[in-house]
Amino acid sequence: MAKRLPKSDRRQGRLAGGLGDLYDGLFLPSLRILRPRQATARNCPQAASLTTQSKILATGIVLTAMAIVIVALWLADGAPPSPLVPNGPAQQVAIEVDPSDTGEPTPSYHQFVGHMTCAECHSEIHSVHIATPHANTFASTSESPIAQQFCGRTMSSGGKYGTYEYQCDDEGLLVDIQERRDGRLFPLEYAVGSGKHAVTFLTLLPDGAETIGVEHRMTWFRASGESGITPGQNADVPERAVDFFGRVFRGEDMRRCVSCHVTTGHIVRGRIENLTAGIHCERCHGPGKEHVQAAEDDDTAAATAAIRSKWSGADEVAMCGECHRMPDDLAPERLKRYPNSLVRFQPVGLLRSRCFTESAGRMKCTTCHDPHAPVESRSLAMQLDSCRQCHSKPTETHCAAGHSDGCIKCHMPAIELLPGISFHDHWIRVHDNDAAADGNVDDDAGHASAR
């Protein structure tokens, strides 16, 4: 198990490699800026943002610059770090990942009240929702039980990558590579994925004026209880030092990686400010401050008007599709071919189903899903009832093939994309005998970049 070094030694470990002498006393706090604890942010976003903001003010630009120097070494692998270090004071790159992506006016962060406030009046919905994969899909590695299982473990990462050695400290998970050991530990900051199927680690690093995301090479899979190569990374070849820890995402891909797994957050120089980890009420319903005020004033009409809660079929599919993917997230060629890997993107399938296109806007995601509960909350019988809402002729013959039951297994079959991870084909249609054996397969089971 974990060879838990005494704290001072672990600091030494991080400070080794020549940097320690130079930046003694600065290196650790600077890493802390890269990786603040998020516990308070989840419970009380405003309070947390105040603390982090004052922390930044207090520690100042110098430490941020230190962090950049260190990060630059990973990025450059021995090359002089200078091109990656900005010359002047840190320029702030602010990236909104709150629901402003929906095209509506950007709601100020202060309009968000947090899901614990919603729980005061909607306790039933909240108590179910809090246990869903949505609510638990993002955490600091210090708070993720799956991440904590990595502490002290060693595992081969395949081929050129070498052997990963994991350690934990009170800020979360860190990794080193046996074959390349140089005393610098690479932090793995966030655990992405609820663990219902899988958990992948993510690190955000400032790279010059930009922030990059490093999706760690190893992913934990529930089906096997073990780790394997992160889907989509099998064919990667490492070049810079940073590549040995995983795949680098930049720009829009990096921002969306975080955005799709959180309620609010604001990426600034490799950090997420105003983070509300996981997908909670206000991600879908919009910020709730006005709604809560009106409800507290007993003005039900104003309360109802002040919160987003009614969507047309197409609007709801688009809202869910912001994360579950819409057709325009995909390359046209892939879309046309519809390989099995596309079953991962339910809106894409649903939108081309005759059930959707020929039902005059009556079909939405919530026709068959409770948006506040895990999928298992609806039994198979309930799923069949949702088909029967529209397919119930007086003769009781629902299906041209004469079946009155089992609709899903024939018309929305589950397809296993990764061992133990299946998705139901939401392109509702008449399939060939064996959908999975139709040969229309591609290798890319990753989802972080859908193209």
**Does residue 352 belong to the site contacting ligand HEC (CB under 6 A)?**
no
Which residues make Cβ contacts (< 8 Å) with residue 319, sequence separation at least 6?
A: 102, 284, 311
**What is the spatial distance between Cα 30 and Cα 74, in angstroms, rounded to a whole number?**
16
Residue 117 or 149 with smaller CB distance to ligand HEC: 117
Total of chain residues touching ligand HEC, rule CB under 6 A: 104
275 sits near ligand HEC (criterion: CB under 6 A): no
Site for ligand HEC in 388-427 (CB under 6 A): 389-391, 398-401, 403-408, 410-412, 421, 423-424, 426
Neighbouring CB atoms inside 10 A of 300's CB total 10
| Interface positions, 112-171, toward ligand HEC (CB under 6 A) | 113, 115, 117-118, 120-122, 125-126, 129, 133-134, 137
If one asks whether residue 302 binds ligand HEC (CB under 6 A), the answer comes out as: no
Of positions 70, 84, 185, 260, contacts ligand HEC by CB under 6 A:
260
Stretch that binds ligand HEC, among 54-62, 90-98, 237-245, 254-262 (CB under 6 A): 254-262
The one among 33, 147, 151, 350 contacting ligand HEC by CB under 6 A: 350
Q: Is residue 204 part of the contact set for ligand HEC (CB under 6 A)?
A: no
Contacts (CB under 6 A) with ligand HEC, residues 17-56? none
Which residue's CB is nearer to ligand HEC, number 153 or number 391? Answer: 391
| 27-34 vs 7-15: helix crossing angle, rounded to 10 | 90
Min CB(46)–ligand HEC separation in Å: 14
Comparing CB distances to ligand HEC, the nearer of 66 and 320 is 320
Please name every residue paired with 38 in a beta bridge, in sequence order, or none if there are none.
Answer: none
Name the one range near ligand HEC by CB under 6 A: 24-32, 154-162, 163-171, 316-324: 316-324
**Interface with ligand HEC includes 217 (CB under 6 A)?**
no
Contact pick of 157, 174, 282, 341 for ligand HEC (by CB under 6 A): 282
Among 306, 316, 341, 435, binds ligand HEC (CB under 6 A): 316
Q: Does residue 280 belong to the site contacting ligand HEC (CB under 6 A)?
A: yes
Identify residues 57-96 at the interface with ligand HEC (CB under 6 A). Answer: none
